[in-house]
Chains A and B, each alone.
Chain A
Amino acid sequence: MIAVELRKLFRRPRTWATIAVLNALPVLVAVLLVWTDLAPRPGEGPPFLSAVLTNGALYPLAALAIVLPLFLPIAVAVVAGDSVAGEAQAGTLRYLLARPAGRTRLLVAKLVAVLAFVLVTVLVVAAVGYLVGTTLFDAQPGAATSVSGTSLTPEELAVRTVLAIGYVAVSMLGVAAFALFFSTTTDSPLGATMGALAVLVTSSLLFTLDAASPIAPYLPTRYWLAFVDLFRDPVLWRDITRGLALQAVYVGVLLAAAWANFTTKDVTS
Chain B
Amino acid sequence: MSSVIATRGLAKQYGRLRAVDGIDLDVRAGDVYGFLGANGSGKTTTVRMLLGLVLPTRGEIDLLGERMPRAGRRVLPRVGALIEAPAAYGHLSGRENLALLDAAGPGGARRDRRRRVADVLEQVGLGGVGRRPVKAYSLGMRQRLGLAGALLRRPELLVLDEPTNGLDPQGISEIRELLLELHRGGTTIFLSSHLLAEVEQLCSRVGVLDRGRLVLQDDLATLTAPTGATVVRTPTPERVRATLDGRVAAVDGERVVVRGGDPAEVNALLVGAGIPVTGLAPERPTLEEVVLAAAATSADRVERAL
Provide the B55-93 mask, 1 if CB < 8 A to any CB of A, else 0. 100000000000000001100110101011111111110
Find out whether the CB atom of A266 lies under 8 angstroms from the CB atom of B54. Answer: yes
Find out whether the CB atom of A92 lies under 8 angstroms from the CB atom of B48. Answer: no
- Measured between beta carbons, the chain A residues less than 8 angstroms from B89 are 8, 90, 92
- Measured between beta carbons, the chain B residues less than 8 angstroms from A34 are none
Known: A8-B89, A92-B89, A100-B77. A267 touches B105 (CB 8 A): no
The complex places the Cα of A230 from the Cα of B90 at a distance, in Å, of 44
Find out whether the CB atom of A268 lies under 8 angstroms from the CB atom of B48. Answer: yes
The prevalent SS among residues of B at the interface is loop
- The answer to whether the Cβ of B163 comes within 8 Å of any Cβ in the partner chain is no
Find out whether the CB atom of A11 lies under 8 angstroms from the CB atom of B92. Answer: yes
Q: Pick the residue among B55, B83, B92, B104 that contacts A101 (CB under 8 A).
A: B104
Scan residues 77-101 of chain A and give those whose CB is less than 8 A from a CB of chain B: 90-92, 94-101
Known: A92-B87, A92-B89. A98 touches B100 (CB 8 A): no
Scan residues 1-46 of chain A and give those whose CB is less than 8 A from a CB of chain B: 1, 3-4, 7-8, 11-13
Q: Which residue of B lies closest to A97 (CB)?
A: B53
Find out whether the CB atom of A99 lies under 8 angstroms from the CB atom of B76. Answer: yes
Interface contact tally, CB-CB below 8 A: 76
- Measured between beta carbons, the chain B residues less than 8 angstroms from A12 are 91
Find out whether the CB atom of A97 lies under 8 angstroms from the CB atom of B87. Answer: no
Known: A90-B87, A92-B89, A100-B76. A266 touches B55 (CB 8 A): yes
The complex places the Cα of A7 from the Cα of B76 at a distance, in Å, of 24
Find out whether the CB atom of B100 lies under 8 angstroms from the CB atom of A8. Answer: yes
Smallest CB separation, B55 vs chain A (Å):
6
- Measured between beta carbons, the chain A residues less than 8 angstroms from B79 are 98
- Measured between beta carbons, the chain B residues less than 8 angstroms from A142 are none
- The answer to whether the Cβ of B34 comes within 8 Å of any Cβ in the partner chain is no
Find out whether the CB atom of B73 lies under 8 angstroms from the CB atom of A264. Answer: no
- Measured between beta carbons, the chain B residues less than 8 angstroms from A252 are none
Find out whether the CB atom of A100 lies under 8 angstroms from the CB atom of B55. Answer: no
- The answer to whether the Cβ of B237 comes within 8 Å of any Cβ in the partner chain is no
| Candidate in A8, A92, A100, A264 with the most chain B CB atoms within 10 angstroms | A100
- The answer to whether the Cβ of A154 comes within 8 Å of any Cβ in the partner chain is no
Known: A4-B100, A8-B89, A13-B91. A99 touches B54 (CB 8 A): no
Smallest CB separation, A86 vs chain B (Å):
10
The complex places the Cα of A101 from the Cα of B77 at a distance, in Å, of 10
The tally of residues in A whose CB lies under 8 Å from a CB in B reads 24
Find out whether the CB atom of A94 lies under 8 angstroms from the CB atom of B53. Answer: yes
Known: A12-B91, A90-B89, A100-B73. A267 touches B104 (CB 8 A): no
The complex places the Cα of A266 from the Cα of B56 at a distance, in Å, of 9
The complex places the Cα of A94 from the Cα of B76 at a distance, in Å, of 13
- Measured between beta carbons, the chain A residues less than 8 angstroms from B72 are 100, 102
- The answer to whether the Cβ of B249 comes within 8 Å of any Cβ in the partner chain is no
- Measured between beta carbons, the chain B residues less than 8 angstroms from A94 are 48, 51, 53, 83-84, 87
Q: Which residue of B lies closest to A102 (CB)?
A: B73
Scan residues 72-124 of chain B and give those whose CB is less than 8 A from a CB of chain A: 72-73, 76-77, 79, 81, 83-92, 100-101, 103-106
- The answer to whether the Cβ of B149 comes within 8 Å of any Cβ in the partner chain is yes
The complex places the Cα of A4 from the Cα of B83 at a distance, in Å, of 22
- Measured between beta carbons, the chain B residues less than 8 angstroms from A8 are 89, 100
Find out whether the CB atom of A268 lies under 8 angstroms from the CB atom of B76. Answer: no
- The answer to whether the Cβ of B140 comes within 8 Å of any Cβ in the partner chain is no
Find out whether the CB atom of B55 lies under 8 angstroms from the CB atom of A98. Answer: no
The complex places the Cα of A97 from the Cα of B76 at a distance, in Å, of 9
- Measured between beta carbons, the chain B residues less than 8 angstroms from A13 are 91
The complex places the Cα of A99 from the Cα of B133 at a distance, in Å, of 22
- The answer to whether the Cβ of B52 comes within 8 Å of any Cβ in the partner chain is yes
Q: Pick the residue among A11, A91, A264 that contacts B85 (CB under 8 A).
A: A91
- Measured between beta carbons, the chain A residues less than 8 angstroms from B81 are 95, 98
The complex places the Cα of A268 from the Cα of B77 at a distance, in Å, of 21
Smallest CB separation, A83 vs chain B (Å):
14
Scan residues 11-58 of chain B and give those whose CB is less than 8 A from a CB of chain A: 48, 51-55
Smallest CB separation, A36 vs chain B (Å):
41
- Measured between beta carbons, the chain B residues less than 8 angstroms from A268 are 48, 53-54
Find out whether the CB atom of A92 lies under 8 angstroms from the CB atom of B53. Answer: no
Find out whether the CB atom of A95 lies under 8 angstroms from the CB atom of B105. Answer: no
| Candidate in B89, B101, B103, B104 with the most chain A CB atoms within 10 angstroms | B104
- Measured between beta carbons, the chain A residues less than 8 angstroms from B73 are 100, 102
Find out whether the CB atom of B105 lies under 8 angstroms from the CB atom of A92. Answer: no
Q: Pick the residue among A7, A95, A267 that contacts B54 (CB under 8 A).
A: A267
- Measured between beta carbons, the chain B residues less than 8 angstroms from A102 are 72-73, 105
Q: Pick the residue among B52, B84, B85, B106 that contacts A97 (CB under 8 A).
A: B52
Q: List 25 A-B contacts (CB under 8 A).
A: A3-B103, A4-B100, A4-B103, A11-B91, A12-B91, A90-B89, A91-B86, A91-B87, A94-B51, A94-B53, A96-B104, A97-B52, A98-B51, A98-B52, A98-B76, A98-B81, A99-B76, A99-B104, A100-B72, A100-B76, A100-B77, A102-B72, A102-B73, A264-B55, A266-B53
Name 13 extra pairs, CB < 8 A, besides A97-B51, A99-B105: A4-B104, A11-B91, A11-B92, A92-B88, A95-B81, A95-B87, A98-B51, A98-B79, A100-B77, A100-B105, A102-B72, A266-B54, A267-B53
| Cβ-closest 7 pairs across A and B | A91-B87, A99-B105, A100-B76, A267-B53, A266-B54, A98-B51, A92-B87
